[in-house]
Structure 1
């Protein structure tokens, strides 16, 4: 399984807006600041944004890095957008509704939308986009998100302005899978052939004019954009910088106005200094400490719990997460998910509890090896130091990223088959996309080798719930089981930041998945 498949999406929100005639459009959004303290919109100007060069081709079908996603999101759009609170926002779809207990979903398209070259957007166009993503030969990074939910051949067009999705199983969070939360699901022309950077054509607020893999990209206003009056900018310029420090210095020096991928540990110290604002949001990205439950010493629940009680989570959030995000509680329902339980006691550092649990497991001295890739080194060292304070010895085993995700994915790749490891997961649009692959019996990316029929049943109940109450009940059961069994330790959930020059532009916002939505940005 390709490592890039881990990077799919962000966050989720409530069920109520999903199940009956969801996403009713309120019409084009009003100009920001028209009646607010910021005053009327100032049109014009070019927003300059810094970003690292994309490591692979800028192709909406296969992209998985933040720069490529940002470039595409300026040009192309989704049926549904996710705002910074992960509320579903209608874009190319006006509304959606479910039938057959969540097994069939029908989307009504926004009328009159065209691509930037004038080609109309209709049901067949949308179907072609999803058929492309669902084709295994297409190597789409979105394919894993649809696994067990939607298969090739499941999309039809009952009417020109309507698209229907027939699912493999009931899935009440399905709108998130065709939203920006599944970032490859932008709607492309029927004849798209993989040449996006050669004049990428989309329905978004900007049109790609130039692209250079070494230096950056330029965009101009899409005069055919369906939302009257937007965008307010004349254009956007993205400049590529070789490293994060160079990007940050360009922002401080005024060579750029904002960043596509602000790094919390670099950007947050700048908040409130000079003309730089750092916007922050919560998120669902997470680095997971996975414990191999089918082998000693972690085949004993008490030993896994001891590790969990040996961590000082606030200190980890501060040092590793730059205090942007939320504390984790050893389950996969991030606080940003609407169904996340709020009454489960927060696990905290407890040295006496560690000793008690190890004694109950008959373990007099606990030592284990922690495997990780270079980006997780600081986190690994922090875990090592904290657990040393409670009498648990951790041997660090750093591998190159290539080695960490290499090998046979079915039997010996380190990220799935070592005693304990740290794996970074990008935020998901729905918790099921963490629960199913990571901890469900036989999950594709179940590195802990955990299996519990009660957890499987609760996860299934969550996916098929038809009311908020049922959804929260199932989520509470999932959380309680994982919190008790601890196949994975979740110390914190990552947030996100975006830094910008506040004296020149307004409307720049952080997004939990670092997504780009500059259509509402205007000059100060």
Structure 2
């Protein structure tokens, strides 16, 4: 570490030592050779769950084409306009960030290492000032130099321009000095941008925060820190002509169809200790039927399902059989599937009506609908057991997670709806498992007199156009909304902040879709992330989780597992818990 001062260093080291799962830091050491030698886990022969702790089909051979498919479209491949975990993983192929998670097997993959930066952040004693230095001589795919001014601009456009880029998180906006006043580069024409990000020279960047933030090195792994040259930025249309800072560049991109990535001749292995860049080409297709993707994987026509959420329920029985089981990895996703109850949609403005939902849902039927225990465990908390700060509790107990009809009906009587009511439930129509969850919930609620109309939407626009848009939700009376969440980084704050803090409610693209804005919860989150006592901070996350459940605005359903399938042609395959238990796309290559 460059700095061992203050709470920031302590928080970082403690979180990493716990080895928790993350969606989105540790030593300055160089990464291991990932091109076929041991890297954070042993090289492993193809066997069931082998990629959970080792690298399957390890190879150092350059060449071949990695072929990916996805059942819908991404929110965006623009590194500054995405919140999907798989895009964060995928974007590392063409967008380098200040720091990144080490491409390695097992818990070693949770280690944060320098990427563009020469080391981890240098923190002030109060954890309010963070300094990074980037490697000299870096270039974009067009040969122009990469500077820290480009990193500053990338953060400004991604955090302060919701009118153009609405999908990503806004941690930088929330914590930078003056973040509540700066209007973003498209509206504020001051060429110096926000004053709290300083770039005294082309290789130095300094962040001045309004309040302590002990986990700041985790923010430096976000794709939002991938540099963007202001002269090439076209706002929401930048996705059509992304300028690459990584080993691959876009040979083609067609909105809603797919993309083709080829080698970036300006990328230099000597300036990138993280990536081996073995494949010659990476192809990705969108809007492919989920069951078709499974069949293509089994036939060896694809390398990976880029969504990383595992095979579909009707494929599961086939791949867990004796012929294909050796090609599967049942990975904990570090994520929880849950039902959001929007408290601004009647009758859920009454807590007892919300409690009726909490008690009525048969979670074991939801588990069965998605494929049984192989797809996850019944949940009682938002924080999954793999995230630092998890505390076991159950605020709405029932026998074996099967629901409590008597308590549900009593809650309905208490909220003045003894005869039940009608409401709408949303789910993503290109995710068969989520649609199955919706049907199971519909059946559960019917038992207590609640009629549910299922409204389905495409996942690529689920948050930007529908469930994440409060005005749309209110207008269409979307009282219940299915979703799933994994930690932005492996601590309770990294999991909870964007889904329960009131500041995370946005006009569109928000993930706090229950619109929870509880002052006590907001304050507890802010106080905990500034706490200099790492043990107390970790305990706080479980306490906050319980505070959220007591509002009855979320129903935890399943601690998710991903039943992944890897074809024999896939090489250097390992699961990364840093990105929701999917395969690590920086390591992945192909023998085809």
1:324 and 2:375 matched: yes
**Does the 8 A contact of 1:328 with 1:493 survive in 2?**
yes
1:382 and 2:406 matched: no
1:128 and 2:194 matched: no
SS at match of 2:92: helix
User: Structure 1 residues 367, 494: CA separation in 2 closer, same or farther (over 3 Å shift)?
Assistant: same
User: Structure 1 residues 258, 146: CA separation in 2 closer, same or farther (over 3 Å shift)?
Assistant: same
| Superposition deviation, residue 422 in structure 1 | 0.9
SS at match of 2:439: helix
Taking the TM superposition and a 5 Å limit, the aligned residue runs for 1:111-510 are 113-116=138-141, 119-136=144-161, 139=165, 141-142=167-168, 144-150=170-176, 151=179, 152=182, 153=194, 154-158=196-200, 160-180=202-222, 183-189=223-229, 191-194=231-234, 201-211=243-253, 214=257, 216-220=259-263, 224-225=268-269, 226-227=271-272, 230-231=275-276, 233-240=278-285, 242-266=288-312, 268-269=316-317, 270-271=319-320, 273-274=323-324, 276-278=327-329, 280-284=331-335, 286-292=337-343, 296=347, 299-301=350-352, 303-320=353-370, 323-330=374-381, 332-342=382-392, 347=397, 348=401, 349-354=403-408, 357=411, 364-373=418-427, 375=429, 377-389=435-447, 391-398=448-455, 412-414=471-473, 418=477, 420-424=479-483, 426-429=485-488, 432=493, 435=496, 438-440=499-501, 444=505, 448=514, 450=516, 452-496=518-562, 498-509=564-575
Per-residue Cα deviation, 1:57-76 (whole angstroms, up to 9, x for no partner): 75333356688666643111
Aligned equivalents of 1:56, 1:291: Cα separation in 2: 23
Aligned equivalents of 1:57, 1:289: Cα separation in 2: 24
**Does the 8 A contact of 1:125 with 1:187 survive in 2?**
yes
Q: Which residue of 1 aligns with 2:5?
A: none
Taking the TM superposition and a 5 Å limit, the aligned residue runs for 1:22-37 are 23-31=26-34, 33-34=36-37, 36-37=42-43
Aligned equivalents of 1:295, 1:258: Cα separation in 2: 42
Aligned equivalents of 2:250, 2:467: Cα separation in 1: 40
- The gaps in structure 1 that reach 5 residues or longer are 1-13
User: Structure 1 residues 82, 418: CA separation in 2 closer, same or farther (over 3 Å shift)?
Assistant: farther
Aligned equivalents of 1:175, 1:229: Cα separation in 2: 17
Per-residue Cα deviation, 1:209-267 (whole angstroms, up to 9, x for no partner): 44456464142376613246952624133142632233333222222222322453426
Larger relative helix fraction: 2
Aligned equivalents of 2:348, 2:75: Cα separation in 1: 40
Which of 58, 62, 77 aligns to 2:96? It is: 77
**Does the 8 A contact of 2:501 with 2:516 survive in 1?**
yes
| Superposition deviation, residue 388 in structure 1 | 3.4
| Superposition deviation, residue 296 in structure 1 | 4.4
| Superposition deviation, residue 409 in structure 1 | 8.9
Per-residue Cα deviation, 1:21-48 (whole angstroms, up to 9, x for no partner): x543211323455365559743123133
Per-residue Cα deviation, 1:306-338 (whole angstroms, up to 9, x for no partner): 4222223243234237643453325x4333431
User: Structure 1 residues 509, 257: CA separation in 2 closer, same or farther (over 3 Å shift)?
Assistant: same
Aligned equivalents of 1:68, 1:37: Cα separation in 2: 26
SS at match of 1:459: helix
| Superposition deviation, residue 485 in structure 1 | 2.8
Aligned equivalents of 1:211, 1:296: Cα separation in 2: 45
Per-residue Cα deviation, 1:286-309 (whole angstroms, up to 9, x for no partner): 4433152785465244x4334222
Aligned-pair Cα RMSD in Å: 4.3
User: Structure 1 residues 343, 141: CA separation in 2 closer, same or farther (over 3 Å shift)?
Assistant: closer
Per-residue Cα deviation, 1:259-288 (whole angstroms, up to 9, x for no partner): 322453426442564474346341336443
| Superposition deviation, residue 78 in structure 1 | 1.6
| Superposition deviation, residue 486 in structure 1 | 1.3
User: Structure 1 residues 81, 499: CA separation in 2 closer, same or farther (over 3 Å shift)?
Assistant: farther
| Superposition deviation, residue 383 in structure 1 | 1.0
TM-score (norm. length: structure 1): 0.78
Q: Which residue of 2 aligns with 1:6?
A: none
TM-score (norm. length: structure 2): 0.71
SS at match of 1:518: coil
Q: Which residue of 1 aligns with 2:67?
A: 49
Aligned equivalents of 2:415, 2:534: Cα separation in 1: 39
User: Structure 1 residues 386, 495: CA separation in 2 closer, same or farther (over 3 Å shift)?
Assistant: same
- The gaps in structure 2 that reach 5 residues or longer are 1-9, 17-24, 45-56, 183-193, 507-511
| Superposition deviation, residue 206 in structure 1 | 3.0
Aligned equivalents of 1:44, 1:123: Cα separation in 2: 31
Q: Which residue of 2 aligns with 1:8?
A: none
Aligned equivalents of 1:191, 1:203: Cα separation in 2: 15
Q: Which sits farther off after the overlay, 316-325 or 333-342?
A: 316-325
Q: Which sits farther off after the overlay, 333-342 or 229-238?
A: 229-238
User: Structure 1 residues 79, 357: CA separation in 2 closer, same or farther (over 3 Å shift)?
Assistant: same
Aligned equivalents of 2:253, 2:588: Cα separation in 1: 23
User: Structure 1 residues 400, 128: CA separation in 2 closer, same or farther (over 3 Å shift)?
Assistant: closer
User: Structure 1 residues 254, 16: CA separation in 2 closer, same or farther (over 3 Å shift)?
Assistant: closer
SS at match of 1:461: helix
User: Structure 1 residues 227, 268: CA separation in 2 closer, same or farther (over 3 Å shift)?
Assistant: farther
